[in-house]
Structure 1
């Protein structure tokens, strides 16, 4: 299945070009997405709040069966390799 990409990224968020984003994703102010991190909105949108740190090789994927939004709050750290 091919996902339609729709990204909304706050002007002071940082998303490294080596990060992999797929689907409908919103990234909040001050959030940093490191190289090789994967954010995949497979079954519904993902909204990531402010000041999160998503480190290398972390995987965040919305697998909700009914298309609900996956909401991640603020001030979280997803350490290297988390979510695999």
Structure 2
């Protein structure tokens, strides 16, 4: 399951789902926030799992940041890329 939280408040939680097969042990997490909606996808070797699709998420007034958490020793971030929308 995946959780989308705003500070300590749960906003959305997905049902447990089978993860896509890893490509050399890695999966790509794609997070898109556009016009007050967030989409989260997990890309694997051959397929993609959409975790949240265009869920409404208002920004926190006066804050301009993104937090990302992982749990356990088997989940790690290998690389992080940020792109500004055109």
| TM bracket (short chain) | under 0.3
Q: Which structure has more RCO (C-alpha within 8 Å, separation ≥ 6)?
A: 1
Rg comparison, structure with higher value: 2
